[in-house]
């Protein structure tokens, strides 16, 4: 396998690059940013997804048989200008056109997001969308562009759920740091069901898609992650491994008040571990349909306990070297975050 990964310097991409190297695959990572893991530098090439000529050049030189498209701007910070995310939909359209002229590509996986449907909305079919952020809307456009591209290769779309694991700087910089300081409190003890996913299982699912019978995966959408779970189960597992103590709980109303204060601090540029957005995430069900994924690919191999142990081990021994990627705003520059 000759595997080209766009966005291989990101969270999921770093894990996918490592897994591919471990298996002896030929790997190329195209990304705006250098790798999170410094040891991956030999397989990285700086790349702008909006640059069609550069994309054609790398495809011709590397001749990938398999391509996983992870590159994207993934935050939800901007809600008034879709052009802030143009690398997602416009960039993906450029990449798809390049893939059509690259005869070596046999398999393509395009990454979307669970956010193409808002929490609580269960899609009736693959083209049933209800995005609630501009980021989600750009990913809806990515999916439609993929469907309309007229690709000759076998292609699939994945929708990652809430993914966690080694190389997630979000958890390193917020939750884990706060928990280690003894400052983490969970809002209430009510059951909140979430679709979470250990990144090792997501990588396994991607690799299964790349190797599966085309009749099983071609043209299909797969949510990737783990079975939905009570959020408290995940939080308690992390706390036991990270600080060897059970989680402390405080009333939901108090966390809501702190979140409102966090919104004010965030507005003036002062970081705070809880905001209204984070509060909603911690207190609202968000369940995605995993049945098709399990039926087509099988049960993912890593348990919650194994994933948490691997993540905490990374946090303790390797995470300090990872630098937060540069965010590129395409409204102000021709560059793009990948």
For 28-49, the pLDDT digits (tens) are 999 999 999 999 999 999 999 9
- Burial state string for 283-322 with b = 16 or more CB within 10 A and e = fewer than 16: beebbbebeebeebbeebebeeeebbebbbebbeeebeeb
Q: What is the mean pLDDT of the chain?
A: 93
Phi, psi of 201 (to 5 degrees): -70, -35
Q: What range does the domain containing 121 cover? A: 2-168+196-227+287-302
Q: What angle is formed at CA 222 by the lines to CA 216 and CA 223, rounded to 5 degrees?
A: 155
DSSP per residue, 310-331 = HHHHHHHHTGGG--PPPP--TT
pLDDT, residue 332, reads: 67
- The verdict on residue 110 lying in a domain is yes
- The verdict on residue 222 lying in a domain is yes
- The verdict on residue 212 lying in a domain is yes
- The verdict on residue 251 lying in a domain is no
- The verdict on residue 177 lying in a domain is no
**Is the confidence at residue 187, as pLDDT, over 70?**
yes
- The verdict on residue 144 lying in a domain is yes
pLDDT, residue 336, reads: 38
DSSP 8-state code for residue 185: E
- The verdict on residue 114 lying in a domain is yes
**Is the confidence at residue 228, as pLDDT, over 50?**
yes
Identify whether the C-beta of residue 7 lies closer than 8 Å to the C-beta of residue 337: no
- The verdict on residue 173 lying in a domain is no
Please count the CA atoms within 13 angstroms of the CA of 59 that sit on its side-chain side: 26
**Is the confidence at residue 102, as pLDDT, over 50?**
yes
| Tally of domains within the chain | 1
**Is the confidence at residue 107, as pLDDT, over 80?**
yes
**Is the confidence at residue 91, as pLDDT, over 70?**
yes
Strand 66-69 and strand 185-187: the pairing is unpaired
**Residue 49 sits in a domain of what CATH number?**
3.40.50.720
Mean pLDDT of 117-125: 92
304-317 and 231-242 are packed helices; what angle lies between their axes, rounded to 10 degrees?
40
């Amino acid at each position: 396998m000759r595997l080209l990964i766009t966005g291989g310097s990101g969270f999921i991409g770093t894990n996918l690059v490592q897994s591919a190297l471990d298996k002896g695959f030929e790997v190329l990572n195209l990304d705006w940013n250098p790798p999170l893991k410094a040891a991956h530098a030999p397989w990285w090439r700086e790349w702008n997804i909006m640059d069609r000529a550069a994309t054609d050049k790398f495809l011709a030189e590397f001749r990938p048989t398999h391509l996983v498209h992870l590159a994207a701007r993934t935050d939800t910070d901007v809600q008034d200008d879709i052009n802030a995310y143009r690398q997602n939909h416009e960039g993906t359209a450029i990449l798809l056109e390049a893939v059509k002229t690259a005869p070596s590509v046999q398999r393509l996986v395009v990454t979307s997001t669970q956010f193409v449907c808002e929490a609580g909305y269960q899609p009736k079919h693959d083209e049933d969308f209800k995005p609630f952020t501009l980021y989600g809307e750009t990913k809806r456009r990515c999916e439609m562009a993929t469907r309309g591209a007229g690709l000759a290769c076998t292609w699939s779309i994945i929708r990652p759920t809430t993914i966690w694991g080694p190389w997630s700087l979000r958890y390193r910089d917020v939750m884990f740091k706060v928990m280690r300081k003894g400052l983490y409190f969970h809002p209430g003890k009510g059951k909140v069901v979430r679709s979470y996913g250990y990144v090792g299982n997501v990588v396994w699912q991607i690799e299964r898609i790349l190797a599966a019978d085309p009749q099983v995966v071609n043209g299909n959408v797969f949510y990737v992650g783990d079975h939905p779970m009570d959020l408290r189960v995940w939080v308690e597992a992390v706390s036991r491994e990270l600080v060897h103590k059970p989680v402390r709980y405080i009333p939901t109303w108090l966390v809501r008040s702190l979140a409102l204060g966090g919104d004010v601090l965030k507005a003036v540029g002062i970081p705070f571990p809880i905001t209204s957005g984070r509060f909603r995430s911690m207190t609202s069900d968000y369940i995605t349909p995993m049945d098709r994924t399990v039926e087509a690919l099988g049960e993912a191999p890593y348990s919650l306990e194994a994933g948490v142990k691997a993540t905490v081990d990374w946090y303790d021994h390797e995470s300090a070297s990872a630098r937060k990627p540069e965010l590129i705003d395409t409204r102000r520059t021709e560059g793009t975050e990948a």
